[in-house]
């Protein structure tokens, strides 16, 4: 059993500064010179083994950096009950690590005991609202901490939806006391795909409940009618319109912990750090203006 | 049928129509927008299988592996959100494929890759201080029982699985020759190391794991393998930090 990380030199909350999604190939670079990066995100499921290098690296990093644990497999938006084994693993991880933040997605990934390894969409109805709130109550009760819920990237809409997404998320936060995570790349992707102004989405989002902002890269495709179809890939640099949307958001929200995610075709550390530096500049501009 | 039933069936079977009531931003049917989910699921799980079985991927070729990954996904969708566990049924799946039956070793090579992955994520355990082992009186040593690190594993195969694994991971490794091979996996620090065991070694370790004393295990194995010398597998276990306790 690994010893509990010594947390003394590390802040208890995420700083209002740039973070990046941690990739093991960057371990040495981060320890030698983290540059603008002040905190790290890990995907919870990658650290649910029993030991070995992943947990040893995490223990090491957690002594220097605030850690955000980001779940991708809880299936909070799913119709089935949450997997008790997975909840127990999550509890074990967060009790051991005591991270600065835990977050998950407004999405589902498990159905009939099968896990689909993607963030699948749900209709926004009163029934799904009640179900998501029950699941969040269960998670927050078990973990003994507030969680943040992230807005998804959308490629389609459900005919049966009766709620707009920002209002749906706001209502979940009101009912459960959870915070929200605002992924501005997801907003840009969804707005492009479903034909609305991303700024309107930001204007409707309860920014005072946002505990963390995400940025990432996307791919470009087309739908059947030749309309742009953006795909949230986390496999490229953040595009200029998304940086502009970050500025628009920060101008209204004030500085927030801001994360750059790059999960596929992971670049060299210097490239990822440059993205974090750009986020630092956006945050500094807002801090100066205040 | 629930929304989730519709979704998952259509994700796994691209011949099925896109579920009703899914729209684009102009309230038109979503059409190929649904393929984003089909593609995300297939690509991410194919990638997980490539990463989990690099030697099988090399043996079969990446394109054949893509095809197998698609078949495997439909036959056995993952049952856990832990991608570190994805593919536990893949060795049996490979052995059940008629078109690969001429490559009899594939299943055991896949089992070796799976065991290496399990070892990588296994619990840490403080190793036994083995310095004093050599100073124990022989009687006392042979009356002892050993405990093993969770990252230690033994595989037995009628195929030269270690040689095949080495030939496909190390540029200087010799070409495999047909023979049975037993493999010991140890994890001295963070990277699991597979090594071939001498004849009788796997049986000897299995007896020790079952709680037999060193003397009893060695005697039993020596009756089947007269040339068995415990010092060789014991040295592999000690160097691999695979022993955690010695008790009388």
Residue A112 lies in a domain: yes
What is the complex's ipTM, to 2 decimals?
A: 0.94
Per-residue pLDDT for A162 more than 70? yes
pLDDT at residue B47, rounded to an integer: 96
The CA distance from A195 to the nearest CA of chain B, in Å, is: 5
Partner residue facing B34 (CB), from A83, A109, A156: A156
- Please name the helix (run of DSSP H) or strand (run of DSSP E) that holds residue A70, with its range, or none: strand A66-70
Q: Considering only alpha carbons, which residue of chain B is nearest residue A44?
A: B82
Q: Which residue bears the tokens 């707005």?
A: A191
Domain boundaries, chain B: 1-103, 124-248
pLDDT at residue A290, rounded to an integer: 80
Which residues in chain A are closer than 8 Å to B48, comparing Cβ atoms? 117
Q: Considering only alpha carbons, which residue of chain B is nearest residue A56?
A: B190
* Number of domains forming the structure of chain A: 1
Is A74 within 8 Å of B81 when comparing Cβ atoms? Answer: yes
pLDDT at residue A3, rounded to an integer: 53
The dihedrals phi and psi of A199, each to the nearest 5 degrees, come to -65, -35
Helix crossing, A84-97 with A126-143: angle to 10°?
50
Which residues in chain B are closer than 8 Å to A231, comparing Cβ atoms? 36
Residue in A276, A277, A264, A270 with CA at minimum distance from that of residue A236: A264
- Cα B87–Cα A44–Cα B3 angle in degrees, nearest 5: 70
Bridge partners of A259?
A19, A214
- Beta carbons within 8 Å of B52's beta carbon, 6+ residues apart: B86, B87, B90, B113, B114, B117
Residues B87-123 as b or e (16 or more Cβ within 10 Å = b): bbebbebbbeeeebeebebbbbbbbbbbbbbbbbbbe
Tokens of A236: 């490229």
Q: Considering only alpha carbons, which residue of chain B is nearest residue A80?
A: B4
The pLDDT tens digits for A36-47 are: 999 999 999 999
The answer to whether residues A257 and A244 touch, using CB atoms and an 8 Å cutoff, is no
CB pairs under 8 A between A and B: 144
Which residues in chain B are closer than 8 Å to A120, comparing Cβ atoms? 4, 7, 37
Is A78 within 8 Å of B84 when comparing Cβ atoms? Answer: no
Q: Provide the pLDDT confidence category of residue A63 given band limits of 50, 70 and 90.
A: very high
pLDDT at residue B248, rounded to an integer: 84
Per-residue pLDDT for A7 more than 60? no
pLDDT at residue A10, rounded to an integer: 52
The dihedrals phi and psi of B185, each to the nearest 5 degrees, come to -110, 125
Is A114 within 8 Å of B78 when comparing Cβ atoms? Answer: yes
Q: Choose from B12, B81, B153 for mutation: most chain A CBs within 10 A.
A: B81
Residue in A194, A203, A101, A187 with CA at minimum distance from that of residue A151: A187
Per-residue pLDDT for A5 more than 90? no
Per-residue pLDDT for A289 more than 80? yes
Is A1 within 8 Å of B8 when comparing Cβ atoms? Answer: no
Residue A244 lies in a domain: yes
Partner residue facing A115 (CB), from B30, B36, B78: B78
The CA distance from B4 to the nearest CA of chain A, in Å, is: 7
Specify the DSSP class assigned to residue B216: H
Q: Choose from B2, B4, B6 for mutation: most chain A CBs within 10 A.
A: B4
Which residues in chain B are closer than 8 Å to A83, comparing Cβ atoms? 81
Q: Is A218 on the interface with B (CB under 8 A)?
A: no
pLDDT at residue B131, rounded to an integer: 81
Per-residue pLDDT for A9 more than 50? no
The pLDDT tens digits for B176-200 are: 999 999 999 999 999 999 999 999 9
Which residues in chain B are closer than 8 Å to A56, comparing Cβ atoms? 124, 190
The pLDDT tens digits for A117-126 are: 999 999 999 9
Domain that holds residue A158: 18-289
CATH of the domain at A66: 3.20.20.150
Which residues in chain B are closer than 8 Å to A229, comparing Cβ atoms? 33, 36
Question: Would you call A126 exposed, middle or buried from its count of C-beta atoms within 10 A (0-12, 13-18, 19+)?
Answer: exposed
Residue in B14, B13, B16, B32 with CA at minimum distance from that of residue B24: B32
Q: Choose from B80, B89, B150 for mutation: most chain A CBs within 10 A.
A: B80
Per-residue pLDDT for A26 more than 90? yes
Q: Which residue bears the tokens 């070793």?
A: B105
The CA distance from B87 to the nearest CA of chain A, in Å, is: 13
What is this structure's pTM?
0.95
Per-residue pLDDT for A8 more than 60? no
Is A115 within 8 Å of B79 when comparing Cβ atoms? Answer: yes
Residue in A18, A153, A155, A43 with CA at minimum distance from that of residue A99: A43
Biggest distance spanned by C-alpha atoms of chain A: 56
The answer to whether residues A90 and A71 touch, using CB atoms and an 8 Å cutoff, is yes
Q: Provide the pLDDT confidence category of residue A232 given band limits of 50, 70 and 90.
A: very high
pLDDT at residue A155, rounded to an integer: 98
Q: If chain B, 248 residues long, is cut into consecutive pieces of 10 residues, what is the mean pLDDT of each piece?
A: 93 93 94 95 96 98 97 96 97 97 97 98 95 86 96 98 98 95 97 97 98 97 96 96 94
CA distance B161 to B113: 10
Residue A13 lies in a domain: no
């Amino acid at each position: 059993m690994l010893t509990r990380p010594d947390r003394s030199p590390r802040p208890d909350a995420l700083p209002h500064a740039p973070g990046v999604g941690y990739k093991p190939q960057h371990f040495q670079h981060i320890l030698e010179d983290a540059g603008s990066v002040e905190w790290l995100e890990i995907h919870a499921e990658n650290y649910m083994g029993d030991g070995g290098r992943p947990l040893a690296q995490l223990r090491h990093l957690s002594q220097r950096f605030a850690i955000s644990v980001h779940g991708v497999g809880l299936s909070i938006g799913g119709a089935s009950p949450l997997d008790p084994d997975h909840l127990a693993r999550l509890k074990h991880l967060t009790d051991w690590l005591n991270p600065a933040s835990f977050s998950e997605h407004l999405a589902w990934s498990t159905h009939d005991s099968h896990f689909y390894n993607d963030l699948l969409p749900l209709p926004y109805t009163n029934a799904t609202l009640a179900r998501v709130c029950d699941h969040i109550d269960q998670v927050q009760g078990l973990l003994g901490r507030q969680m943040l819920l992230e807005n998804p990237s959308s490629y389609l809409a459900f005919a049966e939806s009766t709620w707009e997404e920002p209002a749906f998320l706001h209502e979940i936060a009101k009912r459960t006391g959870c915070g929200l995570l605002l992924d501005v790349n997801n907003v840009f992707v969804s707005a492009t795909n479903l034909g609305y102004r991303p700024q309107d989405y930001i204007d409707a989002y309860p920014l005072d409940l946002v505990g963390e902002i995400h940025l990432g890269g996307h791919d470009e495709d087309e739908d059947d009618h030749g309309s742009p179809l953006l795909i949230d890939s986390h496999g490229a640099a953040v595009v200029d319109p998304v940086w502009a949307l970050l500025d628009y958001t920060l101008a209204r929200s004030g500085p927030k912990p801001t994360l750059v995610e790059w999960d596929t075709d992971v670049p060299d550390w210097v490239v990822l750090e440059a993205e974090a530096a750009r986020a630092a500049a956006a945050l500094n501009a807002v801090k100066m203006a205040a | 049928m629930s929304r989730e039933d519709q979704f998952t069936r259509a994700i796994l079977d691209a011949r099925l129509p896109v579920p009703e009531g899914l729209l684009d931003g102009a309230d038109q049917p979503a059409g190929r927008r649904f393929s984003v989910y089909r593609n995300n699921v297939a690509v991410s799980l194919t990638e997980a299988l490539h990463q989990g079985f690099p030697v099988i991927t090399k043996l079969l070729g990446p394109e054949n592996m893509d095809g197998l990954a698609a078949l495997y996904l439909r036959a056995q969708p993952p049952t856990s959100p832990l991608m570190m566990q994805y593919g536990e049924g893949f060795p049996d799946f490979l052995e059940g494929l008629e078109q690969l039956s001429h490559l009899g070793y594939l299943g055991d090579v896949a089992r070796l890759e799976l065991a290496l992955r399990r070892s990588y994520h296994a619990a840490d355990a403080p190793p036994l201080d083995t310095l004093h082992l050599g100073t124990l009186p022989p009687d006392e040593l042979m009356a002892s029982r050993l405990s093993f690190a969770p990252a230690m594993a033994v595989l037995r195969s009628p195929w030269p699985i270690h040689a095949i694994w080495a030939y496909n991971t190390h540029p200087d490794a010799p070409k495999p020759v047909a023979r049975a091979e037993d493999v010991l996996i140890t994890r001295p620090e963070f990277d699991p190391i597979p090594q071939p065991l001498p004849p009788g070694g796997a049986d000897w370790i299995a007896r020790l794991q079952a709680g037999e004393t060193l003397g009893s295990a060695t005697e039993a194995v020596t009756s089947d393998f007269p040339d068995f010398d415990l010092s060789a597998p014991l040295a592999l276990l000690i160097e691999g930090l695979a022993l955690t306790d010695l008790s009388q």
